[in-house]
Structure 1
Amino acid sequence: MAETQRPNHPPSIADAWAVTAERAAETTFFFDFDGVLSPVTDDPDASQPVPAVPGVLERLAAAVHRVAIVSARPVSFLRSRFASLERVDLYGLYGLEVWHEGAVVTEPAALPWIPAMSDLAERARAELPPQILVEFKRLSVALHYRTAPQLSGEVERWGHEQAERHGLKIQGGRMVIELKPPVDQDKGMVITEGVRDAHCAWYFGDDMSDIKAFDALRAREAVDPGFFGVAVAVANPETGAEVSSAADLTLESPYAVAQFLTDGLTSF
């Protein structure tokens, strides 16, 4: 952390964990899913968390005030991967869905867009090359070109045309673009709200949408010098350099994330 140290930041990882342990009752940990808790896969439905992740998240949730996963995945997908977790909140579709204390809440402004998203997914399957994986998420449509990177330009042109024609938002990512309803919600807004009453927060991310979450930690520090925020990037060959440049430290893989948390918990 020393290379990107800010005035209120401890000079080392060990010190950062010590500060976090001191503020455990007022600390929140936020995690992206794909590329952070799970390796990215060619087939999104095949993604699974690193084996050590569920256990270490449950231990972390018992040690701090709150743990949450903030993902582009639907809440239904996240629940299928973390059914055993009792203390972890789930934010799906960039915060359009929230699972908290046994119930899922959907942003009301997004609900009328479900039929349009379904139609968009059907058009994508009909109009884009068959190598493109079209992922319908109820409130968004993701167009994956990981297995056919040479088609990225065609996919992005099609996506931007649809966004302009139908008034949709578009989100770029790791070998994917996603079309979303024009509802004002993103990971940065989730974190802004989530740290409003916190005195310490960590965010682990690997993609462009996660930079907004990093920025939310910086903004909280700007208005409250007593707040301690740590932005952690997870390395990858696609967006890694840009995300790492916005973070306080970089870990090498989801397996390294699990080990980092396991080691850090010894400070509590």
Structure 2
Amino acid sequence: MSEKSDLIVQGTSEPAEIVPTPLSLVPHLREVAILLDIDGTLLDLAPTPREVWVPPGLMETLNALLQRTSGALAMVSGRSLNDIDLIFAPAIFPAVGGHGAEMRLAGGSEADAIGAPPLDKELKRRLAAIAKLSPGILLEDKGYSLALHYRLAPQAEKAIYEEVSRIRAELPGAPIEVLPGKSVCEIKQAGFTKASGVRELMRRAPFAGRKPFFIGDDVTDETVFAIMPDFAGLSFSVGRRARGVDGHFDTPDDVRAFLSQLATGGTTSSPVG
């Protein structure tokens, strides 16, 4: 395996362009753990969660990276592991799902719950009723969380958050957190995050001892951006320059192109610094 094929990209210091560069921050893929958010990062956003699709060539890229990292590639998503598997079927990837509520270390291994209880049924029922505020609000029950998607009803955003706030005020003892996202309001149990899930993942083989390389796009990914220095890792945002990241990509298509180049060992372009 050549030096050229084993390198990872370094963010450029130039803010306005993408510059081809030798990869130098982490010299070998065998030292790296590749961690990827899905929606808005690896895959383009869609009007509804069920409409996302895997572009041609991406599965080949992911499988190649999984092999070249000896299994140290994982999805890190708010989606459940079951939902992740449906998207990438028939492939099954290592993953942190449910915003850190569950984890799977390898494609053929059993999923581990990471001490996260599901949402209370009565609370979930009350939150689910918010979907009736307007046509176009889509309800997604993830077990550990409940998401209200309003991409098809953007005018309902304010009413959704006001109703969630009212329910929280009536139940001040409920251990829940509200996660604002891209046209989605998600409510989950407190006490776990994508970052807590990644910390647990990085304690287990084949991820332990490697330097993580995380790419994410949304507010919920910021907890992972924040812990990358703890592992001498790198973080990159998509669509915006998030605080504390090493660089960013403009679109998911740029992320896919970068990963494809990384998988084949070719010269690639760095994220914008």
- Please, what TM-score do these two structures have when normalized by structure 1? 0.81
Report deviation, 1:49.
Answer: 2.5
Equivalent position SS for 2:152: coil
Of residues 176, 198, 215 in structure 2, which corresponds to 1:191?
Answer: 198
Q: How many residues get paired?
A: 243
Q: Which position in structure 1 is the counterpart of 2:143?
A: 138
Q: Any conservation in 1 of the 2:138–2:150 contact (CA below 8 Å)? A: yes
Alpha carbons of structure 1 residues 103 and 117: separation in structure 2 relative to 1, 3 Å = farther
Which whole-Å CA distance do the structure 1 matches of 2:20 and 2:201 have between them?
Answer: 23
Where 1:33 maps in the other structure, the secondary structure is coil
CA deviations over 1:107-161 (Å, ceiling 9, x no partner): 44414x35245413542234x2223212121221111121222221111111222
| 1:37-48 to 2 correspondences below 5 Å | 37-48=42-53
Q: 1:250 offset after TM fit, Å? A: 1.6
Partners of 1:139 and 1:32 in 2: CA distance: 18
Equivalent of 2:224 in 207, 210, 213: 213
In structure 2, give the amino acid aligned to 1:250. Answer: H
Match of 2:159 among 138, 154, 159: 154
1:250 aligns with 2:211: no
Unaligned runs of 5+ in 2: 1-10, 267-273
Structure 1 unaligned segments of length 5 or more: list them: 5-11, 221-226
Structure 1 position 175 matched with structure 2 position 183 = yes
Partner residue in 2 for 1:3:
13
Distance 1:190 1:213 in 2: 9
* Stretch of structure 1 that moved more, 248-257 or 39-48: 248-257
Secondary structure (helix, strand or coil) at the match of 1:20 reads: coil
Give 1:115's match in structure 2, choosing from 113, 121, 132: 121
In the superposition, the TM-score normalised over structure 2's length comes to: 0.79
Q: C-alpha separation between the residues in 1 aligned to 2:20 and 2:194?
A: 25
1:254 is displaced (CA, Å) by 1.8
Give the corresponding residue for 1:204: 215
Identity of aligned residues (%): 22
Corresponding residue for residue 232 of structure 1: 236
User: Could you tell me which amino acid in structure 1 is paired with residue 247 of structure 2?
Assistant: L
More helix by share: 1
1:54 equivalenced with 2:59 (yes/no): yes
Q: What's the C-alpha RMSD, in Å, of the aligned pairs?
A: 2.5
Which structure has more RCO (C-alpha within 8 Å, separation ≥ 6)? 2
Equivalent position amino acid for 1:247 in 2: V
Partner of 1:177: helix, strand, or coil? strand
Seen in structure 2, the aligned counterparts of structure 1 residues 120 and 91 have a Cα distance that, compared at 3 Å, is farther
